[in-house]
Amino acid sequence: MIFTIIRLTLRIIMYRLILRHHVVDGYHVYLLYDDLGYMLANGIPSKDPVEALNFLKLTSPVKLSRKLLNRANRIHSCKTASYRHANGIVRLFLGEDVRMKFRVRFVKLRLRYIATLRTLRLIPRGKVTTYSELALYTDLKSPRVAAKALAMNPFPLVFPCHRVVRKDGGLGGYLDGREYVNIKAEILRREGVKVVNNMVPKEYIVELY
């Protein structure tokens, strides 16, 4: 029994990382997998491959080795299973209603943060909720803790952290900061949310049940 636990523990620690790079409708998408086929992180689609790779670096829960990054320019076939994921992520980025299952695995993330990220799927497309509401629903200490959980999201778009805003309707941050808040605004607009001067009107803000 003890040896089984040790073996499983080592298996979790020593998984091999696999980087996938796809182009869908002109958008570059980078995905990170383990050797069992679980997605560990996804980047935001971009028409600039350098920016797309930087997005994956931001969302990845593990440091990407130089050896792995040296293979980043290779574009993988559209016949692979990962292309289906990449296509779904681009569709989500474009604001479409995508209903598909992503085989994901959370790494180096607290259980309460994982539960918070899974809660994001309760927010309807075309609506947003607030950091305060999310913290209340998930029993987190404060809106700031909720924002911290979202900043550690390895699967943006799959778990729609862009649908959470401040209590006053301000967009707040995106991808662990305010540098990419314009991307957050654009995704929300594509989903049907009105965004004016980085503010969302109250009629788009919903409570979680």
Predicted pLDDT of residue 78: 82
For residues 42 and 154, the answer to whether their CB atoms sit within 8 Å is yes
Predicted pLDDT of residue 1: 56
73 backbone dihedrals φ, ψ, rounded to 5°: -75, -20
Please indicate, yes or no, whether the overall pTM of this predicted structure exceeds 0.95. no
Predicted pLDDT of residue 5: 45
Predicted pLDDT of residue 2: 59
Predicted pLDDT of residue 10: 45
What's the CA gap between 20 and 118, in Å, rounded?
Answer: 24
Predicted pLDDT of residue 77: 83
Q: What is the 3-state secondary structure (H, E, C) of the chain?
A: CHHHHHHHHHHHHCCCEEEEEEEECCEEEEEEEECCCCEEEECCCECCHHHHHHHHHHHCCCCCCHHHHCCCCCCCCCCCHHHHHHHHHHHHHCCCCCCCCCCECCCCCCHHHHHHHHHHHHCCCCCEEEHHHHHHHCCCCCHHHHHHHHHCCCCCCCCCHHHEECCCCECCCCCCCCCCHHHHHHHHHHCCCCCECCECCHHHECCCC
Instruction: Count Cβ atoms below 10 Å from residue 6 Cβ, excluding itself.
Output: 10
Tokens of 208: 């979680």
Q: What fold is seen in the domain 111-204? A: Arc Repressor Mutant, subunit A (1.10.10)
DSSP code of 174? Answer: S
* Residue ranges in the chain modelled with pLDDT below 50: 4-12
CATH 1.10.10.10 location in the chain? 111-204
